[in-house]
Structure 1
Amino acid sequence: MEKIVILTGAGISAESGLGTFRDEGGLWAQHRIEDVATPEGFARNPALVHGFYNARRMQAGGAHPNAAHTALARLQRDWPGEVVIVTQNVDNLHETGGATRVIHMHGTLSGALCASCEHRWTAPAEMSVGEPCPACRAATARPDIVWFGEMPYHMDQIYDHLAQAGIFAAIGTSGQVYPAAAFVHEAIAAGAQTVELNLEPSVGASSFDQTLLGPATQIVPRWVDDLLGRR
């Protein structure tokens, strides 16, 4: 049975109350991306960055998976082949919705990283400047988040999955952030059928064989039902 590779972006978690950096009035609207989501911003003002991610961690901790998350977990459970979820999101809503084998290419809010020795551990609810690394004791703890200008995680593994994909789906992504925006072309090169599920067409919508538009909580369960109905 065909392998399904799914890329998810902020749009799948929006209906759970987690906004994107394009939303007006949310956490991102209060700061410049350069100040809170780059290594340079962290070097300039680590207190600001820690405060921003502490707020995001608290917000994500109160969010619940929606029907789109649980539908993808159902697809993983019931599809006879492999279903791999690659997410640009740093929340854990896929996992709390029942999904497994989730690849977090941009890290997770629940993780902490030592900028000195690269040791990783579970982040406390609030991180602060000067927090020591449990492994090397250096006071260089940071959120385990891939910031703009840094290389996303697990790229070799992701490209291997894309090269084996029979179906590739992009859900709730803007199509503006690379390298994820080019995943559809990797899947096309592998001969996969491609589908975009989004609230509105992304900038790369023309690259997909099919586009399904609407709220993720509506279109993702319908798409999953359709796939499972034609096994």
Structure 2
Amino acid sequence: MEALKDVIQEALNIKKRNKVTFLTGAGISSASGIPTYRGTDGIWIKGSKHYKPESFGTFEHFSKNADEVWQYTFFRKKMFAEANPNEAHYKLVRLEELLKDRFNVITQNIDNLHQRSGLQNVYEIHGNLREMRCASECTKDIYEIPKSIPLKEIDEDLTYEESKLLVCPECGDHTRPNILWFDEFYNERIFKLHTTLKIAKNSGLLIILGSSGATNLPNRLVQQTLQYGGHVIDVNLEDNGFTNNFSDKKRFHSYRGTALDFLNLFESILT
């Protein structure tokens, strides 16, 4: 633990490439009652009413079953709306106040809890469930998902009138949730690919909070920070994909415990 404190103190004192970046995953929201994605009761383990993630979490599936995917989207929105930010979310707000423009959060989460906690500097690399866009990309415009459509239970279908609100105003095609699916790729316009890689490059300290390291860009962010001389601390309850990929790197460190415990430790060092 003392060695980890020394790493944090060293990173806080550097003058160049001195950003402190938190990379958050579903684990930080588990204390709010939202299931993780790949835990035993996770969203991608249990699947939807009829499908497992390898099929329903894709644009290909959406193109054939748009209404069903939208119904499941409104079920998930209900799950998120009923949850509240937890202490770890609010602790990040406190750290943002202390670190000011050195502070960044890059999140894989689409649950909006960071924003609801009051956090300002958030980059959503997997999109969000506040927005939708044309499924055929006839325009680059992004629209707010209509608030007039009520949130759904898992077995509650969309009405015809509700479905009509989910069409592109430009071309009349389906809209789609503004999120990243398994068969899609990161880009700058929607998922801040180049922006977040630049942030990682300029981070003296990148701290992973509750991410399993199962997707491409988070691993690239870790690699980017390490390549340019920064330290990475993996805060998780157990070993994961980041451990498998980077544990042999001397500036990669592990902290096994909750996000809140680590953030309390970090604040005590910072203040």
Same fold (TM over 0.5): yes
Structure 2 residue ranges without an equivalent (≥5):
1-14, 150-157
Which residue does the alignment assign to 1:30? Answer: 47
Q: Which has the higher helix share?
A: 2
- TM superposition shift of 1:7: 0.8
The answer on whether the counterparts of 1:132 and 1:141 sit within 8 Å (CA) in structure 2 is: yes
- What is aligned with 2:253? 210
Shift of 1:30: 3.4
Q: Which residue of 1 aligns with 2:146?
A: 124
| CA separation of 1:160 and 1:91: change in aligned 2, threshold 3 A | same
Contact 2:197–2:220 (CA under 8 A) maintained in structure 1: no
Cα distance in 1 between the residues matched to 2:209 and 2:255: 9
Task: Work out the percentage of aligned pairs sharing the same amino acid.
Answer: 29
Cα distance change, pair 26–81 in 1 and its aligned pair in 2 (3 A): closer
Q: Deviations over 1:6-44 (max 9, x none)?
A: 111111111111112223445541331133211011012
Instruction: Give the partner amino acid of 1:210.
Output: H
Matches of 1:179 and 1:35, distance apart in 2: 21
Q: CA deviation at 1:216?
A: 2.1
Q: Distance in 1 between matches of 2:42 and 2:104?
A: 30
Asked whether the 8 Å contact 1:18–1:60 carries over to 2, the reply is: yes
Change (3 A) 1:3 1:27: closer
Aligned pairs, number: 227
> Which residue is equivalent to 1:6?
22
Does the residue aligned with 2:241 lie in a helix, a strand or coil? coil
The answer for the alignment partner of 2:33 in structure 1 is 17
In structure 2, the partner of 1:179 is 217
Answer yes or no: is 1:141 the counterpart of 2:158: no
- How far 1:69 moved relative to its partner? 0.9
Structure 2 SS opposite 1:65 = coil
Indicate the residue corresponding to 1:45 in structure 2: 65
CA contact (8 A) 1:36 1:52 kept: no
Partner of 2:194: 156
Letter in 1 for 2:142: R
Partner of 1:56: 76
Distance apart, 1:157 and its partner CA:
0.4
Pair member with larger Rg:
2
Asked whether the equivalents of residues 214 and 241 of structure 2 are also in contact (C-alpha less than 8 Å), the reply is: yes
Q: Is the 8 A contact 1:176 1:203 kept in 2?
A: yes
Are the equivalent residues in 1 in contact too, given 2:66–2:174 (CA < 8 A)? Answer: no
Of stretches 123-132 and 158-167 in structure 1, the one that deviates more from structure 2 is 123-132
When residues 4 and 45 of structure 1 are mapped into structure 2, their CA distance, relative to the original with a 3 A threshold, is same
Cα RMSD, aligned residues only: 1.9
Q: Is the 8 A contact 1:36 1:48 kept in 2?
A: no
| One-letter amino acid of the structure 2 residue matched with residue 138 of structure 1 | G
Q: CA deviation at 1:60?
A: 0.5
CA distance in 2, matches of 1:104, 1:27: 19
